[in-house]
Amino acid sequence: MIRTTVSASREYEVITGSGLLSESGKIIRSVAPNAIKALIVTETNVAPLYLDKVKAAVQAEGFEVYEYIFEAGEESKNINSIAGMWGVMAKAGFTRTDLVIALGGGVTGDMAGFAAASFLRGIDVVQIPTSLLAMVDAAVGGKTGIDLPEGKNQVGAFWQPSVVIEDTDCLLTLSDEKFTEGMGEVLKYAFIMDLPLYEFLRENASRGIAIREDAWLKEKIVGMCVADKADVVSNDEHDNGRRQTLNFGHTVGHVIERDSGFSKLHGVCVAKGMGIIIDACEGAGTLAAEEAQKMRDLIKAYGLPVDDDITPEAAVSGAMNDKKKRGNTLSIIVVNKIGTSEIRKMSPEEFKSFLEGAKR
Ligand SMILES: NC(=O)c1ccc[n+]([C@@H]2O[C@H](COP(=O)([O-])OP(=O)(O)OC[C@H]3O[C@@H](n4cnc5c(N)ncnc54)[C@H](O)[C@@H]3O)[C@@H](O)[C@H]2O)c1
Ligand SMILES: [Zn+2]
């Protein structure tokens, strides 16, 4: 078991390890000694797998348990689901000392977090992420919210959890595709800030996504990513500086994702986006050819793509429409040495010629 502390506007622990769902009641009681009621938010895929276990663990600690189960998928990430959660809590007479438990992937965590942030102007939330993407990214750092028809994650709040419980056994029921996608974010941490994680992933590259059958390895990898995210969030909770480095591969990745009508998985698009920036850094002569090749090889070893047929023009115009742009400049995250990254401000024209200079 690995315990990582996040020191943001609130200090809390992320506990990562095998078999933690059964311990979840005790862990939650330790951070909510006076709570009486708990709303477990989950969805139709995760509920049949893990709801009973968590519910039993929480009830054993004397909590009065309520449930809100929504239809799995990004389509549910809207205000109707939030209103449903508010309704259950209001009817049951939840008070400021009661809490919400998010059990599921990033969609569940973002929504349950937002419902908790807004109900009675803010009650506690416990995150229990079950997807790899949610464990290494979404559940840590306090970003919560919902989508609008006009765009993803358009409404939300920063709302840090009281504790994050990551049972790595849950990754065994995830589809291969979803596990692979999560590896896109894992590789991102290795490239931008974590040389030991990079070396570790390289040592185990021949196993590919079979690494998830190794409980020790899985705990170690997820724990390293959590420590990275915790480090970044602790230094830049509100995304004004260093937290932006987590966008490595995301500027172009988002454009590819949106152009596919969100039919391509986020982590897959991020891998493509990283590959494109790696090529551009190599072309600009700031990243050594050998390092660039090692990075591409590692991405491929874990079943992810490194390129896409998007043109530099399309990438730039798509990026300019993205909310992440500030003024007329783009903040592009570049890696010129594995394990370190920097934010480079580029005008659209500079970004276009940067992409056009790509080697390969
Ligand atoms: N808050 C943040 O900082 C942050 C960061 C990254 C992504 N996100 C958000 O997270 C969402 C994506 O997260 P996601 O990929 O986890 O999506 P998700 O919650 O839709 O889960 C993906 C799929 O995996 C299934 N699933 C989850 N855990 C499972 C398990 N253990 N076994 C079997 N199936 C399981 C789900 O039912 C779903 O079908 C997006 O909405 C994105 O905006 C938020
Ligand atoms: Zn991402």
pLDDT digits (tens, 9 = 90+) for 304-344: 999 999 999 999 999 998 755 567 899 999 999 999 999 99
For position 237, what pLDDT does the model report? Answer: 87
pTM: 0.97
With 80 as the cut, is the pLDDT of residue 78 above it?
A: yes
Asked if the domains at 2-173 and 180-356 fall in one CATH topology, the answer is: no
Lowest mean pLDDT of 62-76, 264-278, 316-330, 346-360, name the range: 316-330
With 60 as the cut, is the pLDDT of residue 27 above it?
A: yes
DSSP string of 238-267?
TSSSGGGGGGTTHHHHHHHHHHTTT-S-HH
**E strand or H helix that includes residue 215:** helix 215-235
**Average pLDDT over every residue of 69-80:** 98
Q: Which residues pair with 128 in a beta bridge?
A: 103
Selection from 191-200, 229-238, 313-322 with the highest mean pLDDT: 191-200
- Contact (CB, 8 A) for 61 and 99: no
- Report domain extents, the chain: 2-173, 180-356
Residues in contact with ligand 1 by the CB-under-6-Å rule are 43, 45-46, 49, 72-74, 77, 104-108, 110, 130-131, 133-134, 137-138, 141, 143, 152-153, 170, 173-174, 178
The gap from C-alpha 51 to its chain's centroid, in whole angstroms, comes to: 21
The residue whose CA is least distant from atom 3 of ligand 1 is 138
With 70 as the cut, is the pLDDT of residue 360 above it?
A: no
pLDDT digits (tens, 9 = 90+) for 127-171: 999 999 999 999 999 999 999 999 899 999 999 999 999 999 999
The residue whose CA is least distant from atom 14 of ligand 1 is 106
Comparing CA positions, the residue from 276, 239, 243, 249 lying closest to residue 332 is: 249
The answer to whether the Cα torsion of 259, 263, 265, 271 is positive or negative is negative
Domain 2-173 belongs to what topology? Rossmann fold (3.40.50)
**Architecture of the domain spanning 180-356:** Up-down Bundle (1.20)
The pick from 111, 131, 140, 180 for probing ligand 1's pocket by mutation, whose C-beta has the most ligand atoms within 8 angstroms, reads 131
